[in-house]
Structure 1
Amino acid sequence: MNENKSRLQTLFEQGEFVVTGEIGPPKSANGGGIKKHAEHLKGYVDATNLTDNQTAIVRLSSIAAGMHVLKAGVEPIVQMTCRDRNRIAIQSDLLGAYSLGMKNVLCLTGDHQSFGNHPTAANVFDLDSIQLIRMVKRMRDEKVFACGEEIKKDEPKFFIGAVANPFADPFDVRVYRMEKKINAGAQFFQTQIIFDMERFERWMELVRERGLHERAYIMAGIMPVKSAKVAAYMQKCVSGMIVPDEMVARLKKAEDQQAEAVEICVEQIKHIRNIKGVKGVHIMAVGWEEIVPGIVEKAGLLPRPQSGGIARAAG
């Protein structure tokens, strides 16, 4: 493996169907929980996201969380949002993250601060996600800071990720926004959580029509939903997400709703693997990381690639 490339990038380039997870850092200075979650995911995912003050709530930093994950033997994907930092702070954090061994970055604009626990905080939004992607690419490929000053040596060679939402309106525009991110430098994408497979397939048709699946690696976002109550809440209260009535009813009818949630995830993954252009799944089980091994195993995604060699996923 090229030492400058992350394990995640190497697996994509070798044609693996990649599996990533997600860990939400705590609202405290204790990293023990992150380490425990990473240990649950080790051997079952190829890398894991560390969210950056998700929903604008103060949490342990994504970079510090990435260090705990690295120490647990899992490769981190550090999220970087534009909400809280100007371009000086972002570039400083990127240099710091790379110096600590973090080679994957996921670039996001970030939820507005009004959604979080400091709604009167001043926002920054010096850059948006597309500008952030372009800046990271220039730091890596042109060896320059955003101001144009040369990075004389040891530039950060990040594998650059972005997010895509196939479910937000206007529907057709989402593909064009994705293309803008690719043009800016995005190499891989993780999508919003997918429950409506029909709409996701229509979106992937548009992606393929523009050849975007050949220009970036696309990972489908999956979430195990613990109960019908949670599914109904997401259906009614979470914008930009489509939760079919059939899924809510299926969970409600199940004797063991958590076991049913796992079965739904497994079915979704098996379906997604047959959609042309999808190169992996991103399993978002924040707060329920211990369920991920069972999902991965039942979906036929084991063994995961081991260090020192590449093993094809079964199934």
Structure 2
Amino acid sequence: MTGGCKMGFADVLGSGKFVVTAEVSPPRGTDISGTLAGARLLQGLVDAVNVTDNQRSMMRMSPIVLCHKLGEMGFETIMHMTCRDRNRLALQSDLLAAHALGVHNILAMSGDYPTMGDMPSTKPVFDLDSVQLLQLIEKMNNGSDFKDKPLDSPTSLCAGAVANPGARPLGPQLFKLNKKVSAKARFIQTQAVFDAAVFNEFADAARHTGIPIIAGIIPLRSAQNARFMNEKIPGVNIPDEAISRMEAATDPALEGMKIAAETIADIRTNCQGIHIMPIGGHGNTRRLLEMCGLD
């Protein structure tokens, strides 16, 4: 018997609908009530909720638990899985556990290096990379483990991958993208997009793959916040023009949403959806989607 993508997010991708996903992070303790309350703001607005995996190498609860709880609330979830913290045994164990708990969408990533986090002496694993993780998921969907030994039952996982449209030169990024598509990635979610022309160049170059591209969107909250992201977050490049607009704004949060809405309008014909990564929660996500006509 062969597995494959479970009915749900994969079907939304295949329908041609403009997809909206949004991101939440697990807590740094055992109480998930606040995280779940924040996620309720997304009900009726998004096609899936992404749950991060020790994002920026900062320790948080495992995403498996939060994905399961969000699933009980009716959300389709996309669980981030990095190779930084797990060897191939742990990756397979967590994939089986996620599947057993009803989590069927996985975003496969190598993961940020630990030196950028709050425990910089952490020993990274990187037994596999993101392409090999995608290949592993495809094997498990077809009923075998990493060593081609049969599983008791196959998984049914829809695997996605990440890309950075702003990477320059663009060639190596496209080379990686082609490898991920060959490894059976079913969708791509990108790093945050602030320059529509840069994104559209990437999308045009990637069009031959036929893979759905979901563009990352971060609504800025302040000029200080924008500068911090430029300095500290890999893959983020916020243009000076956007920072100047944030500095001059009487309501920086509103200006940040306007910038995000303009970016979405300028890239909408070149992507299959957007992925909202808020700073400080989803209190303004509905308003942003209304500004874009996506509510």
TM-score by length of 1: 0.89
Q: Which residue of 1 aligns with 2:254?
A: 259
The match for 1:246 among 238, 241, 248 is 241
Stretches of structure 2 lacking an aligned partner (at least 5 in a row):
none
Poorly superposed stretches of 4+, deviation over 3 Å: 236-239
CA distance 1:158–1:255, shift in 2 (3 Å): same
Q: Which residue of 1 aligns with 2:52?
A: 51
Note the 1:269-284 alignment, pairs <5 A: 269-275=264-270, 278-284=271-277
Deviation string 1:216-243 (CA, Å, 9 cap, x unpaired) is: 1110110001011111222344343221
Deviation at 1:4, TM superposition (A): 6.1
Q: Which residue of 2 aligns with 1:71?
A: 72
Deviation string 1:127-176 (CA, Å, 9 cap, x unpaired) is: 00000000001110x210001110132x1111110000111233221111
C-alpha distance in 2 between matches for 1:114 and 1:37: 29
Q: Which residue of 1 aligns with 2:172?
A: 173
Equivalenced residues, count: 292
Q: Which residue of 2 aligns with 1:145?
A: 145
CA contact (8 A) 1:62 1:79 kept: yes
CA contact (8 A) 1:6 1:104 kept: no
CA distance 1:224–1:18, shift in 2 (3 Å): same
C-alpha distance in 2 between matches for 1:4 and 1:127: 22
Output the aligned Cα RMSD: 1.5
Q: Which amino acid aligns with 1:39?
A: R
SS at match of 1:148: coil
Q: Which residue of 2 aligns with 1:307?
A: none
Deviation string 1:182-212 (CA, Å, 9 cap, x unpaired) is: 001101000010011111111122112xx11
Stretches of structure 1 lacking an aligned partner (at least 5 in a row):
303-315
Q: Which residue of 2 aligns with 1:311?
A: none
C-alpha distance in 2 between matches for 1:170 and 1:33: 41
C-alpha distance in 2 between matches for 1:166 and 1:148: 35
C-alpha distance in 1 between matches for 2:224 and 2:264: 23
Q: Which amino acid aligns with 1:240?
A: G
Alignment of 1:29 onto 2:58: no
SS at match of 2:131: helix
Alignment of 1:288 onto 2:287: no
CA contact (8 A) 1:228 1:249 kept: yes
Deviation at 1:72, TM superposition (A): 2.4
Q: Which residue of 1 aligns with 2:217?
A: 222
CA contact (8 A) 1:224 1:262 kept: yes
TM-score by length of 2: 0.95
